Structure 1
């Protein structure tokens, strides 16, 4: 089939690679405009643009995919199908009506659970142990189209956002090719979503990166897993932000072993286990740290260069 591929983020790359290696033809890759960031305002391409350039594909970028100009261009391609993977903008009914077959989307959750912008992050932050990928027909309503196929994935308790996103991206690419084969043969079976079972994965807000030790230890670990490495969760030590990149729940009985301690207190420093910090319920071992303005390091390296002692208090932004 001839395909127009819509994608922007790193998650979409494996799907583009899968199509590139298949018998299908990519007529054009549609991605978000380049961005300028860093001190020198250097131009940054989207991950999908970088991969499309590597493959020698035609690229289309626009601030408004639903504009008259975009509609005219997309119509001119006469594509069999539009494939949308983490594109970053809603498509109008006019756009969704252009291709020969109805557009399809690769979504990193088991719909109707976790519709929305941050399904992978919310899956981990909520402590789920099962997730998956869905291929669905696209309609104007967000992530609400009929389901074509799904694949379940068990979540390893040590996976963070980066690891789970990679796994789902690879599975999504595989499932996408299977779905395209079914669609082309006319044997795909589409199942409407049960809207009564829908949940919404809202976009991660900036303030969510500030860890709150007034929560249960397992919830704090889930937040760290859900944000890293894309976003670095933060605590405050001696009026400086400290990135917490990796940690695990401590198996100690904190309420018995450290009766007089307070939330955020450094209870113990162990050269093998890490830095033990008290939470409202339980405690966490901090394993990897990103000091303000520096690279991520093992807690042992941090201890060599910083003075942190038993009895120091780590705080959230709100407490500082």
Structure 2
């Protein structure tokens, strides 16, 4: 009878939970390591690890990575899976074994390297993303690709919706990988095509801010969806106030206004866009809290009339 492979999973939080549950149920996991986790998540994982007789380690910062190799040496896994683990693993750790470290990247490689590919594929209006399984080296997202598992992007997907769906899909991708490693003597892989590669840095304000004069309605909606909920919406200026737009839709109604001006106010605030279309803002966030668009407009009108 084939001896069950032992796998350590290094993760960064809730995104890995479905995969952890499935791999634990199938008795592949021998250890769980978490990086930068909050106390609630750390406590939950530590408790589950104890209940299932699984090794557990929390890596709070880059300095604590020095504690990883002795921990791995003690548990003696056959493989190490990384799922949104926030720290780069140095050669001193990767030298534990050739092709023993596999990362599951929530975006297609090499086109979407970086820490937040889910934001980038939505902002760029892609119709498909992927979970990429690849061997790890000492650089982020640059190891040889095992496969890209495609995932369709739906029209109404927000960052939150797509993240949940990718997390659920990842559980089965990770289990399939574990089963593959259980029975295969070698795993086919190929080098990444560097001419297709692009690394996206973590989004800054300039990346999440709506430029009314340059962005079309479709681009604005894509940005709003890409920012919901992690950034509490896309950043914008409206009625002289800095806000975040959480939900909006396109109105196929022409206008003769300057982009960024209010065309009309109903249950929504309807804004002129660069391409002669409008977006209808339904929900937004201000310094006073999250509110419906008509509440925001009524409040501002009351202040202006005061």
After TM superposition, list the pairs within 5 Å mapping 1:246-261 onto structure 2. 246-252=247-253, 254=254, 258-259=255-256, 261=257
1:213-224 matches, cutoff 5 A: 213-214=212-213, 215-224=215-224
Q: Which residue of structure 1 aligns with residue 200 of structure 2?
A: 201
Distance 1:68-1:86 versus aligned 2 partners, 3 A rule: closer
Gap runs ≥5 in structure 2: 51-55
State the Cα deviation string for residues 48-76 of structure 1 (Å, max 9, x = none): x2541341342332423675443223222
- How many residues end up aligned between the 2 structures? 290
Hey, what does 1:53 align to over in structure 2?
46
What do the CA deviations read for 1:247-266 (whole angstroms, capped 9, x no partner)?
Answer: 122211x2xxx32x222211
TM-score, L = length of structure 1: 0.82
Query: CA 1:157 to 1:33, structure 2 compared with 1: closer, same or farther past 3 Å?
Result: closer
TM-score normalised according to structure 2 size: 0.85
Match of 1:40 in 2: none
Q: Sort the Cα spacing of 1:111 and 1:175 in 2 relative to 1 into closer, same or farther, 3 A.
A: same
Specify the SS of the correspondent of 1:56: helix
The match for 1:10 is 14
Of 275, 284, 287, the residue aligned with 2:279 is 284
Distance in 1 (alpha carbons) for counterparts of 2:44 and 2:79: 20
1:23-172 superposed matches below 5 A = 23-27=27-31, 29-33=32-36, 44-45=38-39, 47=41, 49-57=42-50, 58-64=56-62, 68-99=66-97, 102-172=100-170
- Residue 236 of structure 2 corresponds to 235
TM-aligned CA distance change 1:159 to 1:137, over 3 Å: same
2:289 corresponds to: 294
Contact 1:288 1:298 in 2 (8 A): yes
1:269 to 259, 262, 265: 265
